Amino acid sequence: MPPDLAPPLASAPRAHAAPIAAAERAGGVTVVIAECRRLLPLFIRFGFVGFAGFLVDLSVVYAARSWVGLYAAGMLSYLCANTVNFSLNRYWTFRHRPRMRLLRHWALFLAATTPGLICNRGAYVLLIFLVPLCAHHPVLAVIAGSIAGMMANFMMSHRVVFSEKRVRGGK
């Protein structure tokens, strides 16, 4: 059936059937917009949690850099920040989602955020290595790394770690 002769969507009111059908033919724009609206509150909370993790990350880098060097301080700080992020996401951002046992859930979080780790610490190490300003002011490398890993971490947290479909595995 040609698209212009397709019947209107059953769930849509008659006055809005044509724009919705046109948007669906245009690639599901309405579905994407609806999904973005649904995820926006989660993403905002995830961002606040990420900012708390950023503060932990930054604090550990500055506290440990003279003791273990910038590279090891960066890895230690990532582990500390990621643990804080897991806890805050588990009990606040995704509080309504099913949970697994704590250590198993934390291990899944660490594994699932590996793409974010690669983006985050990749940017951090490159900037420390290539940009003298970042070696003197690691806050710049930490900021860049945090931004680089945020989207990957959000998608993996939303779809894998704190999935709405996950079966409860105990607490």
Please state, in angstroms and rounded to a whole number, the distance separating the CA atoms of residues 131 and 93: 35
Cβ partners under 8 Å of residue 105, min gap 6: 86, 90, 99, 161
pLDDT score recorded for residue 98 = 86
Per-residue pLDDT tens over the stretch 46-60: 999 999 999 999 999
Q: pTM for the complete prediction?
A: 0.71
Residues 136-147, mean pLDDT to the nearest whole number: 91
Residue 171 has pLDDT above 50, yes or no: no
Per-residue pLDDT tens over the stretch 3-42: 444 444 444 444 444 444 555 555 566 777 777 788 899 9
